[in-house]
Chains A and B, each alone.
Chain A
């Protein structure tokens, strides 16, 4: 019951001046909480961003070499002709099979959509999708965000239906028909300034193509979609507009148009062999991305395909930019908090050494070596550091749980859609372990000099100290 191990003495000394210890602890606790909450928030934002990206473009895409850099405007030159064989091989591959959740083709095209009779049109970025695959991709939620998967507006199994971004729907004056939010009333309905003017002969072409098809039987509006074919001639398809949806980013909403893959292929390749611009792979877990990529690259080499593998970070550079931004803010906060912790602990420990100078002399006279004195004060600094960071961690976890269950939402920059505001602290141990180690290390470093000084005080002077 009286045993005095090496921890007991520093621990009691730490508890000696409770008020001062508490002030130092609060610095550490608040610092730890700030680091963890901000870090957890940054994690959640980045995870949320990754979730959104992976739901839409998958983890990895196989594309023809340089399509990403040079060819996005010309699907004709960069089409993957044997995409079905590529997909089959990927789906059957023993390494990829357990990692991959969805393999789906994608044909991206540039086109013009319009109702040329009403005189409205605009350029669109067209996506030829397999709607069912896209809906399966949108179920991806590795980070367990409290949201239900949202199906894409493009209906499954309707070969003549397309869906629009809400911005496209607005410019095409389809607000009422598609129940688009935020539509200004009383705007001129014809020849909108933003729309692309349609040459008369093309208008005639589309008339011919869609003769008798308008108005649609189900009351849904119809549109003409125009794109350049492989031989350079324009091609027009008349499509039924099933719905408008928001992709969360206004720039995308202003140009987005989804259509069935077959429709896109018909637009671009006409009666030629249908191709795609990408084979999209969505993995079960982002952690497998390097394994999957390496395997794909090996496959490409073995088969001699003229393809390259691009990951979502390359395809969507804003992801890494956002990560870097948060990392630099986190670094700045760490620097601030680290400095405060450093000075706070150093100040406390210097005061402690001053106050206990006679005690140091007493211990030394009893035979404690210099190293023993240094260790004792270092130990006290570490105890304060450990208490502060552990308490800080505990409180931060409670805060995180509270925030995560409060159901807050927020609108990220460059976005128009509200998303849940959550804090991710546990997906990887990096944040908690890193911040605890950093603050502990700082507490140790700031105790070093006072501890060293304490050890070097001549015994006689220490004993004379008043």
Chain B
């Protein structure tokens, strides 16, 4: 088991820390990625440099096919770039082998997916419990944390429901609880509202915004949904595999988390 966080390296590349925050959570440097189908190379990311701050809700924004998911996958350490390198939470992830990357994800990264991706044979409770089982959290603490997480997403009453017995919005809440429950330093959400109606989507956005503040976690969301941008601390527009000049968030609301549900 490789507890990479204990050997965090100093950030490399052009980190540009904002006032009041420490080193960046993610540094992407000169990253290229192309998909090969047969002999045909489709370049998807063509030289991406970016640095994502901790304690912020960042949005990768761009039209469909612009490379958001590809970039997010690289940041989430489930894919590797063709060129360039990534430093995630101080770790140069290019140096890690597959098992080390798995452990790194288990210990530090949470995922939220467009299609929720809950395990259908597990109840809401068990889905949220799963990451803690993986991390070998003791039973008592597991129970406490799962209940707290389900409480925070407002699904304590449905904890024994199976995903099939939940609505889309509820499923995504369970997925968000699952991502947060292990208190990771980085959470990635790929189009988390794309499969929800606007009302549920708005609620999920508000939930994520609130939880991000509460947990002080680096939260990166990819979306082509303009309403999400309004909630972001920082927006990274992406077009055709390249980052456009950054748009800063309109105002960062420094208020406490709004009440949820």
Contacts and interface: CB of A to CB of B under 8 A. Distances in A.
Contacts of A362: 111, 113, 117, 119
Interface of A: 2-4, 9, 12-13, 15-16, 358-359, 361-372, 458-460, 463
A367 B121 CA distance: 19
A16 B120 contact: yes
B55 interface: no
Contacts of A366: 105-106, 111, 130-131, 134, 178
Contact of A4 (B73, B104, B107, B130): B130
Q: What secondary structure prevails in chain A residues at the interface with B?
A: helix
Contacts of A12: 121-122
B123 interface: yes
B250 to A, nearest CB: 32
Contact of A358 (B99, B104, B117, B130): B117
Contact of B99 (A15, A16, A363, A370): A370
Contacts of A363: 119
Closest 5 CB pairs of A and B: A367-B106, A12-B121, A459-B78, A362-B117, A367-B105
Interface string B80-123: 00000000000000000011001111110101010101011111
Nearest to B98: A370
B13 to A, nearest CB: 23
Given A2-B125, A363-B119, A366-B130, 16 more contacts: A2-B129, A2-B143, A9-B122, A12-B121, A362-B117, A364-B78, A365-B111, A366-B106, A366-B111, A367-B103, A367-B109, A367-B131, A367-B134, A370-B102, A372-B102, A463-B78
A12 to B, nearest CB: 4
A2 B150 CA distance: 14
Nearest to A455: B98
Instruction: Please indicate which of the listed interface residues A2, A359, A460 has the most CB atoms of chain B within 10 Å of its own CB.
Output: A2
Contact of A369 (B76, B79, B98, B129): B98
Nearest to B125: A2
Contacts of B129: 2, 4
Nearest to A359: B119
A4 B133 contact: yes
B75 to A, nearest CB: 12
A458 B120 CA distance: 22
B126 interface: yes
A9 B121 CA distance: 8
Contacts of A460: 73, 78-79
Chain B CB within 10 A, most for which of A359, A367, A371: A367
